[in-house]
């Protein structure tokens, strides 16, 4: 007994600290309302699968049920911002390319190109054809056929006589049947 009393006197501070700590923990546990400690109070990875009971693990790992029906479609989202496009796109063989930049649009092929700068369309090639199923129309202030230069001559302007020259009889004068009624105000053949 003396030995116990000596031990108690020597460790009285430690026993007092132990009693206070246990009482404080008991008070905190008893005074804590329900559902106060939840996900926000837990540190990441504080609860691991090893800390669950076997029954809880079985519930978590059981097979999932069938997928439920899809919900209604949501509203259409806002259009994203438009952005400028520029660059060159080449065919796999490199024979053809499409270039877009601030100077216009250019299509290039092995023997020619087509360039549009916003006001003028220019076709460059050994030969250019325009085919229309019912009509092919060229319109402009001046339509130049064959190039440009000082050797341009008027050709098929509005009001010009056109058609077939006929001579109704050997003694009658030759007459022209037809007048150009629509088209460009000036059409030139240049060479």
Look at residue 150 and tell me if it is in a domain.
yes
Domain contains 76: no
Is residue 183 included in any domain, yes or no? yes
Give domain status of residue 26, yes or no.
yes
Phi first, then psi, for residue 129 (nearest 5°) are -125, 145
Q: Which residue has the tokens 């923990």?
A: 25
Q: Where among 57, 84, 100 does a domain terminate?
A: 57
| The pLDDT value given to residue 177 | 60
Q: For residue 75, what pLDDT is reported? A: 93
- Residue 51's pLDDT is what? 80
Whether 22 is covered by a domain: the verdict is: yes
How many domains does the structure of the chain reveal?
Answer: 2
Q: Is 169 exposed, middle or buried (0-12, 13-18, 19+ CB in 10 A)?
A: exposed
Residue 157 CA from chain centroid, whole number: 48
pLDDT recorded at residue 175: 63
Euclidean distance between CA atoms 144 and 131, whole angstroms: 18
What's the pLDDT score for residue 25?
64
Q: Structure tokens of 69?
A: 């029906």
- Sequence-distant (6+) residues with CB within 8 A of 162 are 156, 176, 178, 179, 180
Residue 135 included in any domain: no
Among 12, 27, 57, the domain boundary falls at 57
Each residue of 154-170: pLDDT tens digit? 666 677 766 666 666 66
Residues spanned by the domain of 31: 2-57
pLDDT at 119: 85
Tell me, yes or no, whether 175 lies in a domain. yes
Strands 143-145, 121-125: parallel, antiparallel or unpaired by DSSP? Answer: unpaired
β pairing state of 143-145 and 187-189: parallel
In a domain, 125, yes or no: no
Structure confidence at residue 48 (pLDDT): 79
End residue of a domain, out of 26, 41, 57: 57
SS3 at position 167 = coil
Half-sphere exposure of 159 (CA within 13 A, CB side): 3
Mean pLDDT by 10 residues, the chain (191 residues): 71 76 65 70 77 81 82 91 87 94 92 88 79 69 63 70 64 66 65 62
């Amino acid at each position: 007994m003396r030995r116990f009393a000596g031990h108690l006197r020597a460790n009285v501070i430690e026993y007092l600290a132990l009693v206070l700590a246990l009482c404080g923990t008991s008070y905190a546990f008893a005074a804590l309302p329900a559902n106060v400690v939840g996900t926000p109070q837990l540190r990441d990875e504080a609860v691991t699968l090893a800390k669950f009971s076997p029954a809880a693990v079985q519930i978590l790992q059981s097979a999932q049920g069938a997928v439920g029906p899809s919900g209604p479609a949501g509203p259409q989202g806002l259009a994203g911002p438009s952005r400028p496009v520029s660059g060159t796109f080449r065919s796999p063989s490199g024979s053809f390319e499409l270039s877009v930049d601030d100077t216009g649009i250019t299509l290039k092929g092995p023997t020619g190109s087509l360039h549009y700068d916003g006001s003028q369309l220019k076709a460059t090639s050994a030969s250019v054809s325009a085919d229309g199923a019912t009509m092919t129309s060229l319109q402009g202030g001046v339509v130049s056929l064959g190039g440009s230069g000082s050797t341009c001559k008027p050709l098929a302007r509005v009001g010009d006589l056109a058609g077939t020259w006929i001579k109704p009889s050997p003694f009658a004068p030759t007459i022209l049947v037809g007048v150009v009624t629509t088209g460009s105000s000036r059409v030139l053949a240049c060479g």
